[in-house]
Structure 1
Amino acid sequence: MKRNFKRSLSLLLVSLMLTVLIPSGVWALEETTEPTVAPLNPGFVQYQEEVKSGTLNTSTFDGHSRGHIPPPLERYEGTVDEATITPSATLPAAFDLRDTGRITAVRDQGDYGSCWAFASLASLESYLKKDTTVDFSENNLMWNSGFDGTADEGGNYTMATAYLARWSGPVSESSDPYDTPKKTGLSPIYHIQEVVSIPKLPSVIKQALIDGGALYTSLHYGQLDSEEYYNSENASFYYDGEEESDHDVVIVGWDDNYSRDNFSKTPEGDGAWIIRNSWGEDWGDGGYFYLSYYDTYAGSNVTAFHNAQATDNYSQIYQYDPLGNISAMGYSDDDQTAWGANIFTAAASDNLTAVSTYALTPGTTAEIKIYTDVNDNQPSSGTLRTTQTETFVQGGYYTIDLDNPVGLVAGQKFAVVIKFRTPGTSESVPVESRFENYSSAASANPGESFTSNTGTGGWYDTSKKADSNVCIKAFTQSRDSFANCVYRTHVQNVGWQNWQSNGGISGTSAQSLRLEGIEIKTDSSGYDLGIEYCTHVENLGWQDYQSNGNMSGTSGESLRLEAIKVRLTGRDANLFDVYYRVHAENVGWMDWAKNDKEAGTAGFGYRLEAIEIQLRPAGSEAPGTTTQPYLENN
């Protein structure tokens, strides 16, 4: 009895000593909790059943091909705070991108089920049409999507997003013409860093059309050859059934007064979206038709491919998810949060300047943490280098520029850890997963991707579940050529916003809030580079120049900024150009100013509401038009 007591006492003392001597980060090994997986989209389940049974029909009765595949993860529409994205001005009753010249020619997908490729790239082409005319290769996208099936078996917006986000495209039509054999090894002519899911709110869809151009959408078009739903004389369509969506097209405009009497089957009211199909100019009204606002799928899967950056924006991309967001994982708790992480190994001594991921629901918040020198299988170990929190009003794929870039050393292990908060769903972490007859090419290795319900430990290796990887990418820039512009604004009723970096937008949109102050600084490595700026302030006029992070504007005086000038200083100032543009009250986004030229307005009493600044190598092409960055009322 005494011997057992002494032995127990000894074990207790040893335990207490270990508790004191062993560091908490080593001692506190949390129990690993296996995440839950999001349920499959019912439309995808039905699609899989039709594929296996051989009953899938991808053509209309008159021979036109469709080709939409429902994605495995159903888009979560959620509740969008419309007040945060309401139109900046009164929307017109009718609008048509053809009238603005911001739409490319009608295409013909022929016998292929490639509507999704045409719709996705049409949105991207329309976005760029404001400044340049491009023709992207649908052939390259449909042959090199990376997903199962042939080019004839269809796709969707998530597949197009994955192809673009991993930098496989877009490539030019001339380098890979339509209806030619598969080509590989072609380089993209742009890097796509953002694809936004537009909610089913007519005002938001309309504003996105005005701001960025054509929008991808999905509908049920199996009845386009049925006189019950399609009026060939008016090129109008209204479907009120419950069949799954099966075709992708682009929205190019709207007409609120389009008569309900123009449809074969009368909808509840007037109004129609103007749609461009991909069945050639001989179909419909020159390739276009009207879709009733009251159609079952009006506003379904609306997606904005409204982003394109130069291919030298980053020197390296780190990723484990070439097939993009296919599923989601999380934990069944009440706070609708979960942690996702990837551990990468630096290929070069660069600066980590940005990360990307997916927002699964409107209002998703991403709390980002970067760790270096991490231990195997422990993303939150090592040294915490920076933290940053971003909130996304709408779902989609986003790239976040880091306010504080992190220097990496070749061979160093680093981790990008994100706490996802997704209102409306507990499966918060976007993942790439393997599904038969869809994404069988997905693969995962142990030690790459993880989830956790705490973020401090208990990391679950997602390779164990359907060869899954977390959808987080990391982007670096070469250290010997790293130069960045960092800025933030003081906004009426909001205060100081988070720092933005080289192309980020600081300020607000559609909230009628004035900018009251601004701070700008450079963040560079290997350059003698500074920055100066002055602002035109309500009742005060042009102020003196401020520099390198000091505030220009006023504090506590409720005075609006109306215009700004920015210039570079230092021995290496001649190596760069600084471009900037402002969003002005009653004007909207103005053209780009450069190197100490005025941007904004004077003499009108218009407030500045937002600003974007870009630092570029001297002589580089301007980010956009430079015709009218400034208006003055004499």
Structure 2
Amino acid sequence: MSKHSFKLRAVAVCILVLAGVVLPQPAGAAVGLYDIPEQYLASPVDDTGAFSGWAYASYLSVMNYRLKQGWTTPLLNVDDLVFNHGFEYGPNDGGQWYMSTAYMSRLSGPLTAITGQRDLFLTGSIVYEGQAAMKAAVESDTALYVDVYDQYGHYADTATIVGYDDSITSWKIRSQAGDSYVPYAQCDTYGVSFETAENNIVTGAYQYDYFGQVTYMQRPAGIDTLHVANKFHTSAEEELAAVGFYTIGENVGYELRIYGSHLLGGAPQNHLLTMTGTIANEGFHVVDLEQIINLASGQDFMIWLKLDNYLYAVDMPDEDYCGSVWDGEGMSIYTYTGDPWYVLSDYYDSANWSIKAYTIPEPGTLALVAAGGAALLLRRKRIRLR
């Protein structure tokens, strides 16, 4: 049996013309009719260049959340939506809501290049399952990211639900093409909201995944376990405050460990922290550490992860889909038994785990207090690397 066993999952990048039923907005109020007020929404955007529906729907949901919190400066404008995401297919269509969560949690790109309010940190997404839950969310003025299909069930576009009308059994959706009505049956049975975009409480991100989950790795048949890890090297004296990773599936248990160093062959050393928990929804998630870890400048550290379904997100270049990759050769490793450790990029060129480490400058608490940041960080114990 080969020591390696990988399974690729293709990302849907089919581009079709939306063939939903488009109806005019009915006049007057009626039972089973609701529109999110325009003050909580971004305006439709004309064709201003290459950008994709999944990105537009993600950004509109983020903006919706922040506008509901009383922002007066628009979060996004036309120029922000014309952003080269690195996706080369069609020419840059691709991704899913969980990939866009990881993408917008990079502390770079569109959420740090916007006009006006800039300091945002997206820590996850909220899934509303079933038509009743989706309608309740819309009635609370929550715009929902959703995939839309044509009458034959083929993927057509990604858009944002901004209302509904039971009299025509349709969602009101907003996309870069404008507003339209699409039958309930031609949309996903769940909607996603990015209701976690908060003022930045972290300032640095160590990561090797440019896109997020491009594919995944799973344990081979007959093997009981699989652990993965990313190795990082600090560029300054910092405090490790949070870790980001994917879960592929629902109600996935995790064990997360932080190590202060590692051997040349990859084995972790100097155990500092272990955390366990369960994450309800699929996607990318940011987990606050129970204890902040002080990192010295030039310090090696390792994020070790075990998921109880043994499915781990992988970021890598994919021909005709996403050709770029961040430099992390040899820094993503895995093991079946704890020894030996294998290097992921030895099997897949330029492949890395989608695991991020988030830091704040040392002394981080003073900066947070001055900026009105999260008091939670002040109450955490600290671990000093030796």
- TM-score using structure 1 length: 0.51
Gaps of 5+ in 1: 1-30, 48-56, 62-91, 176-187, 222-238, 263-270, 281-286, 486-500, 505-519, 526-634
Q: Could you tell me how far apart the structure 2 residues matched to 1:248 and 1:209 are?
A: 17
Equivalent residue for 2:188?
298
Q: What is the aligned counterpart of 1:350 among 234, 238, 242?
A: 238
1:143 to 54, 77, 83: 83
User: Hey, what does 1:390 align to over in structure 2?
Assistant: 277
- Per-residue CA deviation, residues 40-66 of structure 1 (Å, 9 max, x unaligned), is 35x45xx4xxxxxxxxx66579xxxxx
> Residue deviations 1:553-601, cap 9 Å, x none?
xxxxxxxxxxxxxxxxxxxxxxxxxxxxxxxxxxxxxxxxxxxxxxxxx
- Counterparts of residues 565-576 of structure 1 (less than 5 Å): none
Q: Which has the higher strand share?
A: 2
Q: Deviations 1:528-547 (Å, cap 9, x if unpaired)?
A: xxxxxxxxxxxxxxxxxxxx
Task: Answer yes or no: is 1:370 the counterpart of 2:262.
Answer: no
Contact 1:114 1:154 in 2 (8 A): yes
The answer to whether structure 1 residue 215 and structure 2 residue 144 are counterparts is yes
Corresponding pairs, count: 362
Q: Displacement, 1:200?
A: 4.5
Determine helix, strand or coil for the equivalent of 1:165.
coil
- 3-state SS, counterpart of residue 122 of structure 2: coil
Aligned partner of 1:189 in structure 2 is: 118
In structure 2, the CA distance between the partners of 1:484 and 1:143, relative to structure 1 (3 Å rule), is closer
Structure 1 SS opposite 2:125: strand
User: 1:242, 1:162 → 2: CA distance?
Assistant: 27
- Which residue is 1:288 aligned to? 180
In 2, distance between residues paired with 1:213 and 1:204? Answer: 11
- Residue type of the partner of 2:379? T
2:24 is aligned to none
d(CA) in 2 for partners of 1:334 and 1:202?
40
Does residue 205 of structure 1 match 2:118? no
Shift in Å, 1:97: 1.7
| Distance change >3 Å, CA 521–CA 474, structure 1 → 2 | closer
Q: Which residue of 2 aligns with 1:578?
A: none
Aligned to 2:199, which of 294, 307, 310? 310
Shift of 1:360: 1.4
Q: How does 1:408-423 map to 2 (within 5 A)?
A: 408-422=295-309
What code does the residue aligned with 1:299 have?
A: T
- Runs of 4+ displaced beyond 6 Å: none
Structure 2 Cα separation of the partners of residues 483 and 524 of structure 1: 15
**Per-residue Cα deviation, 1:326-349 (whole angstroms, up to 9, x for no partner):** 111011348986322101012222
Partner Cα distance (1:212, 1:358) in 2: 28
Change in Cα spacing, 1:478 to 1:174, as seen in structure 2 (3 Å) is closer
Q: Find the partner of 1:338 among 214, 226, 233.
A: 226
Higher relative contact order (CA 8 A, sep 6+): 2
Q: Distance in 1 between matches of 2:289 and 2:335?
A: 23
Once the two structures are TM-superposed, the CA of residue 361 in structure 1 deviates from its matched residue by 1.1
- Whether the aligned pair in 1 keeps the contact of 2:332 and 2:353 (CA below 8 Å) is yes
- Aligned residue number for residue 330 of structure 2: 447
* 2:174 counterpart (259, 276, 294): 276
1:404 and 2:287 are equivalent in the alignment: no
Q: Structure 1 residues 443, 403: closer, same or farther in 2, change over 3 A?
A: closer
Q: Is the 8 A contact 1:138 1:173 kept in 2?
A: no
The one of 76, 89, 98 equivalent to 2:37 is: 98
Q: Give how far 1:389 is off.
A: 1.3
Q: How does 1:436-585 map to 2 (within 5 A)?
A: 436-442=319-325, 445-454=328-337, 456-464=338-346, 465-482=348-365, 502=374, 522-523=379-380
Deviation at 1:477, TM superposition (A): 1.7
The residue type paired with residue 34 of structure 1 is H
5+ unaligned residues in a row in structure 2: which ranges? 20-30
Aligned to 2:159: 249
Going from structure 1 to structure 2, the CA distance change for 1:124 and 1:443 (only over 3 Å counts) comes to closer
Q: Distance in 2 between matches of 1:128 and 1:435?
A: 34
Task: Tell me by how many angstroms 1:189 deviates.
Answer: 0.9
Which SS does the other structure have where 1:192 is aligned? strand
Deviation at 1:173, TM superposition (A): 5.9
Task: Give the aligned partner of residue 326 of structure 1.
Answer: 214
Give 3-state SS (helix, strand or coil) of 2:230's partner.
Answer: strand
TM (norm. structure 2) is: 0.81
> Does 2:61 match 1:123?
yes
Q: Percent of aligned positions with the same letter in both sequences?
A: 22
Report the aligned-residue RMSD: 3.4
Task: Give 1:147's aligned amino acid.
Answer: F
**CA positional deviation for 1:106:** 3.0
TM-aligned CA deviation for residue 35 of structure 1: 3.4
Q: 8 Å contact 1:484–1:522 — kept in the other structure?
A: no
Aligned 8 A contact 1:170 1:189 in 2 = yes
Q: Structure 1 residue 160 and structure 2 residue 100: aligned?
A: yes
Paired letter, 2:355 = I
The amino acid that maps onto 2:208 is Y
Letter aligned with residue 153 of structure 2: E
1:169 lines up with 2:98 in the alignment: no
Q: 1:448 to 1:172 in 2, by over 3 A?
A: closer
